[in-house]
Structure 1
Amino acid sequence: MEETGQNQAKSPGEDVAPSTAVAYLDPHYWDERFSKEEHYEWFKDYSYFRHLILDHIKPNSFVLELGCGNSRLSEEMYKDGITNITCTDLSPVAVDKMQSRVYLKGYKEIKVMAADMLDLPFGGENFDVVIEKGSMDVLLVDSGDPWNPRPASVSKVMAMLQGVHRVLKPNGIFISISFGQPHFRRPLFEAPEFTWSVEWNTFGDGFHYFFYTLKKGSKSSNGKQARETLDLPAIVLLQDELEGEDYIFRNTIDAGEC
């Protein structure tokens, strides 16, 4: 996970970065952070992957965003005519701030509510699109060896994916914007209980971030997945990518990639 720092607002001298990435699993950390910070984007801002969003989300789609935090992703999509959006986050602080922000901007179609992405409070087949940007990566901060992640971490991710699969309409799309590379994400996405196909694109300057699109009901009868084949190095680290929280996070999640 990366923090770009674009448009970040916090009090002078305050540092919202935790000393270790495991703190990202603590709900109290996020409440405290969101109380200080107005905006932060993980994995680049909307301009980097806008073309991919517009390729996959129609203006009349019903969209669920998981772990919205203080990102402006939903607001940027709204400006592009994607207005039927429900934003969720576990932090009531983030939810209160987001509700105030979209109300002041007049984005009345955007709904914001507190919800746990491991136990989604929605009926089946409610959304055309579910999107998350970095939220799944948070569940893996203490997963250990990325080639053989800890069962507890895998269990959390599977609970999230099962909920996403359940609330998606037939032919609905799950979009996951992630630092995790395909050889680590595919075993999770391609579990036998899921009917979705898996494809991905990359974006970013020099460093690759991944834009996964999983279409419900599109897995072939023999279980094979449609995907874009990428010939990438295991990890590429540029000096300007090693500053701030992204350095802590990458070394915690994907230490085994190097």
Structure 2
Amino acid sequence: MDTNQKADETQKKNSFGPSTALAYLDPHYWDERFSNEEHYEWFKDYTHFRHLIKAHIKPTSSVLELGCGNSQLCEELYKDGVTEITCIDLSAIAVEKMQTRLALKGYKEIKVLEADMLDLPFSNGVFDVIIEKGTMDVLFVDSGDPWNPQPETVTKVKAMLEGVHRVLKPNGIFISISFGQPHFRRPLFDAPEFTWSVEWSTFGEGFHYFFYVLKKGKRSSDGKGCSESFKMPSISLLHEELESEDYIFRTAIDDMDN
């Protein structure tokens, strides 16, 4: 690809970015975006965290993906032998396009449903693994001070986590791939109503993303998690990220080009 072609492709990718991060909370934004965009990966693609996924998902696992959008995550899991996969998204357009794409590729076992992650339409204890990649981060775009999120944000995040905890099997695992640092996520993950343990790793070069693993029924008495060493972004950068999506878009575009 020559320089002009690459510039054109970058411009196309940028065209899907909203004028403000608050647009991420608007379902109409996602419908419009998914109508025009075929594929996008938030926080790196599968190759960057496959080694972490493989440690927790078996071919026999029943998996739920929250906020699938137009990601290829479910397809990559399928290629790795995981066939019992359910994907949900709030956007009917994303769901329809994903269903069509998977059918054309012959991945007919993967179910794609229109559903809200804040009100999961599943019975208790039905999934071995639930995974989200960047979906929960959307709930934080108007959270205010990251050290003391607004009550509305906390309520939404708790609703999501309560639903995840409910539909996980007794020894199930919730995997959250996030921009959010542990000192901001732990107070929510460690709420007393949840029985899971909390651990995390990092991946990425230069700038790191967080790979949280919450194991239901494995809550440790000391409440401590673990992490690999990582480059800590400044608090000012994190606050800027919650106010503007420019940094994530630049990073995500670089991820796709690489």
**TM-score, scaled relative to structure 1:** 0.86
Distance 1:193 1:76 in 2: 33
Of 232, 235, 241, which aligns to 2:233? 235
Amino acid at match of 1:86: T
Task: Quote the offset at 1:24 in angstroms.
Answer: 0.1
Given the superposition, is the C-alpha separation of residues 166 and 231 from structure 1 closer, same or farther in structure 2, using an over 3 Å criterion?
Answer: same
Superposition CA RMSD, Å: 2.4
Give CA-to-partner distance per residue, 1:77-115, whole Å, 9 cap, x none.
100001110000000000000000110111111000000
Task: Quote the offset at 1:128 in angstroms.
Answer: 0.2
Question: 2:191 — aligned with what?
Answer: 191
Distance 1:69 1:117 in 2: 13
Question: 1:145 — aligned with what?
Answer: 145
Does residue 207 of structure 2 align to residue 211 of structure 1?
no
Given the superposition, is the C-alpha separation of residues 205 and 225 from structure 1 closer, same or farther in structure 2, using an over 3 Å criterion?
Answer: same
Distance 1:196 1:248 in 2: 29
Contact 1:173 1:216 in 2 (8 A): yes
Does residue 84 of structure 2 align to residue 80 of structure 1?
no
Question: 1:37 — aligned with what?
Answer: 37
Contact 1:141 1:249 in 2 (8 A): no
Given the superposition, is the C-alpha separation of residues 121 and 10 from structure 1 closer, same or farther in structure 2, using an over 3 Å criterion?
Answer: farther
Distance 2:146 2:131 in 1: 23
Question: 1:253 — aligned with what?
Answer: none
Give CA-to-partner distance per residue, 1:102-150, whole Å, 9 cap, x none.
1011111100000000000000000000000001000010001100000
Task: Quote the offset at 1:231 in angstroms.
Answer: 5.2
Given the superposition, is the C-alpha separation of residues 248 and 107 from structure 1 closer, same or farther in structure 2, using an over 3 Å criterion?
Answer: closer
Distance 2:79 2:160 in 1: 28
Given the superposition, is the C-alpha separation of residues 233 and 122 from structure 1 closer, same or farther in structure 2, using an over 3 Å criterion?
Answer: same
Given the superposition, is the C-alpha separation of residues 47 and 62 from structure 1 closer, same or farther in structure 2, using an over 3 Å criterion?
Answer: same
Task: Quote the offset at 1:228 in angstroms.
Answer: 1.2
> Whose helix proportion is higher, 1 or 2?
2
Figure out how many residues of one structure are paired with residues of the other and give that number: 236
Contact 1:20 1:248 in 2 (8 A): no
Identity of aligned residues (%): 72
Task: Quote the offset at 1:216 in angstroms.
Answer: 0.2
SS at match of 2:166: helix
Distance 1:185 1:138 in 2: 14
Given the superposition, is the C-alpha separation of residues 118 and 144 from structure 1 closer, same or farther in structure 2, using an over 3 Å criterion?
Answer: same
Question: 1:179 — aligned with what?
Answer: 179
Q: Map 1:60-71 onto structure 2 (within 5 A).
A: 60-71=60-71
Q: Map 1:1-258 onto structure 2 (within 5 A).
A: 15-220=15-220, 222=221, 224-230=222-228, 232-235=230-233, 245-247=245-247
Distance 1:219 1:205 in 2: 31
Amino acid at match of 2:78: Y
SS at match of 1:31: helix
Task: Quote the offset at 1:46 in angstroms.
Answer: 0.4
Give CA-to-partner distance per residue, 1:12-50, whole Å, 9 cap, x none.
698110011010000000000000000000000000000
Structure 2: 5+ residue runs without aligned partners?
1-8, 238-243, 251-258
Task: Quote the offset at 1:10 in angstroms.
Answer: 10
**TM-score, scaled relative to structure 2:** 0.86
Contact 2:207 2:231 in 1 (8 A): no
Distance 1:204 1:158 in 2: 28
Structure 1: 5+ residue runs without aligned partners?
1-8, 238-243, 251-258
Give CA-to-partner distance per residue, 1:220-245, whole Å, 9 cap, x none.
3x3x33521455554067xxxxxx94
Q: Which runs of 4+ in 1 moved over 2 A?
A: 9-14, 229-234
